[in-house]
């Protein structure tokens, strides 16, 4: 298999000369599980581990390989795993704030061309959650598309209203509707997948991401569980895995995300809410908080019925949350830098 079939293009080729050392070759990370790696190159998929030198030089978890990364590897010896010596720069990146109180990044996947944001038409549909996924994709420079699943659980009129609700909120991403149960819309979805391109599925637990992959593969290669009494699915996927489909496209399934905090997405929020950001330039005060100031263009648009109030609330919440996390993260990085300088000074004093 040629590397171009795995997504290796001229952008990555430009970095090969500076990274690839004699005796090394290129491979793509297809799975990461508790520090163990699966990689795929021209020959096959195989296990890999980090080189000791590389592991020692890594300063934070964000520098470690994640699913979708291109890496430099040393070949297998004596039947052992390949050794990852370096990671290529990332063209695109999906990441979120690490769940819980820790303010740091958690990598999801890298070098993705299109992120399909999957929401069930039934109980899972939520515009504010959709805004978060869109901001995550925008921050990573990834094209977002929306997939409305489980259309068999609602009437056609309700599906039309749901699509209209998304468009009325100012969201311009392409929308695709389908049902894994009846296969309605599945052929149209599959036609979107191009050879050599990498896609990922994002969404809450139980919206049908893994079932969709099984439909695209043509068999139940990945475990799913029976739906609950409400018609919603049950969380199954526990790790990220890059899958090569028969059509030549690559697809990454991701575990359902119960917590979707954002970090470092100030510009992405502006891009996701470009209509609101442009409108805010007409506010009377340049530092308008859009909450109670006189002459606020956003509040005026709500009063006139020109702005969706739910989208306005989502915009403010993401802006405030991102500002808080960014400040906390900056403080954390500064503490780490100070501690790093202290360790270097202590080592010099000991020699």
pLDDT digits 0-9 by tens, 296-314: 999 999 998 888 888 888 8
pLDDT computed for residue 323 by the predictor: 75
User: In CATH, which superfamily holds the domain spanning 93-253?
Assistant: P-loop containing nucleotide triphosphate hydrolases (3.40.50.300)
Domain ranges of the chain: 3-87, 93-253, 266-340
More confident residue, 124 or 176: 176
pLDDT computed for residue 234 by the predictor: 44
Q: Are 262 and 321 in contact (CB under 8 A)?
A: yes
pLDDT computed for residue 48 by the predictor: 94
Mean pLDDT of the chain: 83
Quote the CA–CA distance of 335 and 28 in Å, as a whole number: 34
Task: Compute how many other C-beta atoms are within 10 angstroms of the C-beta atom of residue 167.
Answer: 12
Hey, what are 334's tokens?
Answer: 């500064």
Task: Compute how many other C-beta atoms are within 10 angstroms of the C-beta atom of residue 175.
Answer: 15
SS3 call for 316 = helix
Question: In this model, does residue 266 exceed pLDDT 80?
Answer: no
CA atoms 25, 27, 29, 34: torsion sign: negative
Task: Compute how many other C-beta atoms are within 10 angstroms of the C-beta atom of residue 86.
Answer: 19
pLDDT computed for residue 116 by the predictor: 96
CATH match for 3-87 among 2.40.128.110, 3.40.640.10, 2.40.50.140, 3.40.50.80: 2.40.50.140
* Tens-digit pLDDT profile for residues 325-349: 666 666 655 555 655 555 555 556 5
Q: What letter does residue 37 receive in the DSSP assignment?
A: E
* Tens-digit pLDDT profile for residues 139-164: 899 999 999 999 999 999 999 999 99
Q: How far apart are the first and last CA of the chain?
A: 52
Strands of the chain, DSSP E: 24-33, 36-40, 45-50, 70-74, 82-87, 93-97, 105-110, 114-120, 143-149, 174-177, 198-203, 241-244, 250-253
Question: In this model, does residue 91 exceed pLDDT 80?
Answer: yes
State the pLDDT confidence band at 260, using cuts at 50, 70 and 90.
low
pLDDT computed for residue 228 by the predictor: 43
pTM above 0.85, yes or no: no
Q: Are 203 and 119 in contact (CB under 8 A)?
A: yes
pLDDT computed for residue 231 by the predictor: 47
State the pLDDT confidence band at 230, using cuts at 50, 70 and 90.
very low
Whose tokens are 């695209």? That residue is 216
State the pLDDT confidence band at 84, using cuts at 50, 70 and 90.
very high
Question: In this model, does residue 112 exceed pLDDT 90?
Answer: yes
Hey, what are 19's tokens?
Answer: 């990274």
Look up the CATH architecture of domain 266-340: Orthogonal Bundle (1.10)
């Amino acid at each position: 298999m040629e590397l171009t079939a795995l997504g290796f293009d001229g952008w990555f080729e430009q970095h090969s000369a500076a990274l690839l050392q004699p005796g090394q070759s290129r491979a793509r990370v297809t799975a990461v599980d508790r520090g163990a790696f699966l990689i795929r190159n021209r020959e096959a998929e195989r296990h890999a581990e980090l080189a000791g030198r590389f592991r020692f030089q890594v300063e934070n978890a964000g520098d470690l390989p994640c699913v979708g990364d291109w890496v430099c590897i040393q070949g297998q010896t004596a039947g052992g795993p390949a050794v990852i010596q370096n990671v290529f720069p990332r063209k695109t990146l999906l990441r979120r704030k690490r769940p819980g109180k820790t303010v740091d990044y958690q990598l999801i996947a890298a070098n993705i061309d299109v992120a399909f944001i999957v929401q069930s038409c039934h109980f899972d549909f939520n515009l504010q959650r959709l805004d978060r996924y869109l901001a995550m994709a925008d921050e990573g420079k990834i094209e977002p598309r929306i997939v409305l699943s489980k259309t068999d659980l609602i009437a056609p009129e309700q599906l039309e209203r749901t699509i209209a609700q998304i468009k009325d909120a100012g969201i311009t991403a392409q929308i695709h509707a389908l049902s894994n149960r009846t296969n309605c819309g599945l052929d149209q979805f599959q036609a979107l997948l191009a050879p050599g391109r990498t896609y990922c599925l994002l969404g809450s637990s139980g919206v049908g991401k893994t079932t969709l992959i099984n439909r695209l593969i043509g068999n139940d290669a990945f475990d799913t569980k029976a739906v609950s009494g409400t018609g919603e699915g049950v969380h199954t996927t526990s790790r990220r895995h890059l899958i090569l489909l028969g059509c030549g496209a690559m697809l990454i399934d991701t575990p359902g995300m119960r917590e979707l905090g954002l970090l470092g997405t100030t510009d992405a929020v502006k891009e996701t809410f470009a209509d609101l950001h442009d409108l805010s330039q007409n506010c009377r005060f340049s530092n308008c908080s859009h909450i109670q100031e006189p002459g606020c263009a956003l509040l005026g648009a709500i009063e006139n019925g020109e702005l969706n109030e739910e989208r306005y609330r989502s915009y403010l919440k993401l802006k405030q949350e991102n500002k808080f996390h960014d400040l906390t993260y900056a403080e954390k990085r500064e503490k780490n830098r100070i501690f790093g300088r202290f360790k270097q000074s202590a080592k010099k004093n000991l020699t």
